Structure 1
Amino acid sequence: MTVARHTLLAAAYDSLRAAVLDGSLAPGSRVTVRPLAEQLGLSPTPIKTALAALEREGFLVAVPHRGYFVPEVSTDDLLELYELREAVDGIAARRAASAADHTRIADQLARLVTRQRRAVAADNLRSYGDLDLAFHRLIWEASGSRRLMPIAENLVGQVRLGNRFSAQAPGRLPVALDEHEAILTAIREGDPRAAERHIRRHVRAASLALRRYLRASGVAGRAGR
């Protein structure tokens, strides 16, 4: 029974998260339990639990007495997010390159980059986004910092939402992959300064690509629209 409940919750969570990230649930839209339960063929219980989990991770916002809504992320919100990412990822990469098992960490990062290249070749942005988050999360975990990880994890949902836009910038993905290669090479060589320098440049470049994309798309104010 426990396994069955867990499976239903996972199905509800995965479906709802995917709908937010691919735009099926549009920014600003209200997310209600009954229509989702009917659409997904699930009971209300796993839907409610999944909505609460997504709210904790930043994929949804809860409005008292009104329910859950897909967040409308402003351009300023996204740019601030990348500024925070630059600081957090810089610290994490520096510590990862100093770790005793830095070569093993680099091997894991290299496997993720290989899978990312396949996703880009297949024009699979969703898969690329998941792998991009896995790449950065691995570096966060490799930092070995108990204080850094909770901060980084609080950014996960917002990082993923922001990545949906930056990944759409023309020509960004091949460059981002080369930047990932430079980061993992610095970690493999055990060079903390280079690792921090490369990952800060990488996050900053993503921020600039996002800014250019939103400006070219004529998006002002709320980037989620």
Structure 2
Amino acid sequence: MTGINAPTRIPRATYASLVGERIRSSIMDGRLRPGQQLNESELAASFGVSRGPVREALQRLIQEGLLRSEPHRGVFVPVLSSADVDDIYLARVALETAAVRRITETSRAELAYKVLDPIVRTMCDARDTGDRTEVADRDLDFHTTLVAAAGSPRLERMFTTVISETRLCVSVLTAAYGARDDLVDEHRTISEMIRDENAEGAVAVLTKHFVEARVTLKRQLEVDSDRVRAG
């Protein structure tokens, strides 16, 4: 007999999703560090679930690029190389440029501006209060919203993996945001150019923004690598 007080079995897929979100959050906030290995049995015990949902969650995160599977070794939080950074931003330029052009060519510019401008305002407030983490989080929201505004499910689906890998860079970028006084202004300019249907101008600023982010990331990766070697 079923009723409001009857026990409800939680689907295995739900457990996998919950475990995946917990692991994703741990990667994003730095509790799981680059290079750290994840143990399936230990994760299952810590979450109080069987190994099946944990295995499924790990596979999803591997597909997103947030984890890396190494044959005969296990699953690790990726350690990004300079080549990884170059490839991530190569993909982002292609996808976000396509999004900008679709927005401006399909009468979506005004609507896109209406959803992008509040994010820019929040970034501005966070910058003024010195909240670098909030600036970094809203930066990612801005670009995710930009792609979604293009109204292309396939473009958005491809972007999901790339932005997930970008999130691996967040802790590195966050430290640099305090020195980037022009960061919020760049996002404001991009949103306003989209509003004005100035695709070429928006793409130019977007490209400059990515070049600066890529240079910052690669420089910090070199610093971190030197620190590790020095012990």
Query: Secondary structure of the residue that 2:225 maps to in structure 1?
Result: coil
For residues 3 and 174 of structure 1, the distance between their equivalents in structure 2, rounded to whole angstroms, comes to: 48
Matched-pair contact (CA < 8 Å) for 2:37–2:75:
yes
* 1:219 maps onto 2:225 in alignment: yes
Compared with structure 1, are the counterparts of its residues 111 and 29 closer, same or farther at alpha carbon in structure 2 (3 Å cutoff)? same
Q: Which amino acid aligns with 2:148?
A: E
Out of 24, 28, 32, which is 2:31 matched to? 24
1:110 is aligned to: 117
**Stretch of structure 1 that moved more, 162-171 or 192-201:** 162-171
Distance across 2 between alignment mates of 1:115 and 1:14: 25
Partners of 2:225 and 2:194 in 1: CA distance: 37
What does residue 79 of structure 1 align with?
86
Counterpart pick for 2:61 among 22, 43, 54 = 54
Q: Percent identity?
A: 29
Structure 2 counterpart SS, 1:167: helix
The partner residue of 1:209 within 211, 216, 231 is 216
How many Å apart are 1:183 and its aligned residue?
A: 0.5
2:36·2:76 contact (CA, 8 Å) conserved in 1?
yes
Shift of 1:189: 1.3
- Give the total of aligned pairs: 221
Match of 1:123 among 120, 127, 131: 131
Cα 1:111–1:42 change in 2 (3 A) is: farther
Q: For 2:196 and 2:46, how far apart are their aligned partners in 1? A: 50
Q: Is the 8 A contact 2:177 2:183 kept in 1?
A: no
Q: Distance in 1 between matches of 2:225 and 2:29?
A: 18
Measure how far apart 1:15 and its partner are. 1.5
Q: Deviations over 1:138-168 (max 9, x none)?
A: 2222334465444423312222113332232
TM-score by length of 2: 0.80
Higher alpha-carbon Rg:
2
Distance 2:103 2:175 in 1: 29
Q: CA deviation at 1:118?
A: 4.5
Aligned to 2:43: 36
Q: Which one of the candidate residues 170, 184, 195 is aligned to 1:188?
A: 195
> Aligned letter for 1:193?
E
Equivalent in 162, 175, 181 of residue 155 of structure 1: 162
Which of residues 143, 151, 155 in structure 1 aligns to 2:150? Answer: 143
Per mean C-alpha deviation after superposition, the further-off stretch among 70-79 and 165-174 is: 165-174
Query: 5+ residue gaps in structure 2?
Result: 1-7
Amino acid at match of 2:83: D
Relative contact order: is structure 1 or structure 2 higher (C-alpha 8 Å, sep ≥ 6)? Answer: 1
CA distance in 2: counterparts of 1:110 and 1:45, whole angstroms:
43
Could you tell me the TM-score, scaled by structure 1's length?
0.81
Q: Secondary structure at the match of 2:75?
A: strand
Deviation at 1:49, TM superposition (A): 2.2
